[in-house]
Structure 1
Amino acid sequence: MEKLEAHQKGLLHRAFSVFVTNAKGELLLQQRALDKYHSGGLWTNTCCSHPLPDEDVLTASHRRLMEEMGFDCELKEVFSFTYRAEFTNGLTEYEYDHVLIGQFDGEVRPDPAEVMSCKFASPDEIRYLMLTAPETFTHWFHIAFPKMAAFIER
């Protein structure tokens, strides 16, 4: 089914979250466009979305990274998790989320329909922001980032 229908019915479905770092070990964050159907204006990982029917997660991750952020890079899946979050607009995310990591140091060209802003930030800066302003981050980022930080800080 379409992702919006899955979110309306609160059904478990596949998703992915891409975390891209630079050579300094900083994570590329994106601030979701305000008119996204949920979590608009919140900060999150570099790219996240859903595979198309019969599309594998790695292919989908490369496709959406290019569509959302205007670049592509080598990606590797590092873990997955399941979570459920209900939003005030009646939608529910109930996702089996594959988490991938990559590195990129080139030009980022985000699609303004998807991304309001983006920036590189160190894991320590992100931890501080998550402690002082947790409401400015997406629900899934609060789950994925602490696990992902171990991979970023290696």
Structure 2
Amino acid sequence: MIQASPDVILVNEQDEPIGTMEKMAAHQSPHLHRAFSIFLFDKQQRMLLQQRAHSKYHSAGLWTNTCCSHPYPGEPVADAAARRLKEEMGISVPVEKAFHFTYQASFDNGLYEYEFDHVFIGEIDDATIEPDPAEVAAYTFRSIEEINADMATSAHKYTEWFKIALPLVAQHLKANTPA
């Protein structure tokens, strides 16, 4: 059994593990580490967004994708995604790895993100959403078009990784949707 850990998995540009580091230390200096992001859509193709809790150590109160986090050392990324989706949003639905990307961002509080991000996509039906209030302040469903329109005038309301990932998710969906 994989044990909960405050450490993240440090990786190289090919996502090969090269060590571990305490999560906050990895965010205080930009060390590339493994992460995942989950994007769930309903039958109307609206994305389930969450507003991060106001107590989060960075990007507090900002809107973002359904769920994101880091796998524990030794934990397969797909297992971590399923685990964290249940912990954070109270949802258990199948998700599939769609693609990955690497990004860097810095924040006003001196923290950094430098992540090799595995992106998972899934469909949410009538599942009950029961977010953990320590993680999630609110949630909503929006179409990609609605999100893009809002980001055009209010980009400051969204997390940095979401601004990078959203066009990649839209491109992936377009390329993998039957005509």
Please name the residue that 1:102 is paired with: 122
Work out whether residues 25 and 152 of structure 1, in 8 Å CA contact, stay in contact via their aligned partners in 2.
Answer: no
* 4+ aligned runs moved over 4 Å, structure 1: none
Which fold has the larger relative contact order, with Cα–Cα distance below 8 Å and residues 6 or more apart in sequence?
1
Please name the residue that 1:25 is paired with: 45
Please name the residue that 2:162 is paired with: 141
Alignment of 1:28-43 (within 5 A): 28-43=48-63
Please name the residue that 1:117 is paired with: 138
Return closer, same or farther for 1:107/1:151 CA change in 2, 3 Å cut-off: farther
2:73 equivalent to 1:53: yes
Please name the residue that 1:16 is paired with: 36
Which amino acid in structure 1 is aligned with residue 137 of structure 2?
M
Please name the residue that 1:3 is paired with: 23
Q: Give the whole-Å Cα distance in 2 for the aligned partners of 1:144 and 1:70.
A: 23
Alignment of 1:76-87 (within 5 A): 76-87=96-107
Identity rate, percent: 53
Q: Give the whole-Å Cα distance in 1 for the aligned partners of 2:22 and 2:35.
A: 12
Which amino acid in structure 1 is aligned with residue 87 of structure 2?
E
**CA-to-partner distance for each residue in 1:56-79, whole Å, 9 max, x for gaps?**
110000000000000111111111
User: C-alpha displacement at 1:124, in angstroms?
Assistant: 0.9
Structure 1 SS opposite 2:100: strand
Structure 2 SS opposite 1:30: strand
Give the alignment's Cα RMSD to 1 decimal. Answer: 1.0
Q: Give the whole-Å Cα distance in 1 for the aligned partners of 2:147 and 2:173.
A: 12
Structure 2 SS opposite 1:29: strand
Return closer, same or farther for 1:116/1:86 CA change in 2, 3 Å cut-off: same
Higher gyration radius (CA) = 2
Which amino acid in structure 1 is aligned with residue 156 of structure 2?
E
Q: Which runs of 5+ in 2 are unaligned?
A: 1-20
**CA-to-partner distance for each residue in 1:12-56, whole Å, 9 max, x for gaps?**
100000000011110000000011000000000000000000111
Under a length normalisation based on structure 1, what TM-score does the superposition of the two structures give? 0.96
Q: How many residues align?
A: 154
Structure 1 SS opposite 2:139: strand
Alignment of 1:55-94 (within 5 A): 55-94=75-114
Please name the residue that 2:149 is paired with: 128
Work out whether residues 28 and 119 of structure 1, in 8 Å CA contact, stay in contact via their aligned partners in 2.
Answer: yes
Under a length normalisation based on structure 2, what TM-score does the superposition of the two structures give? 0.83
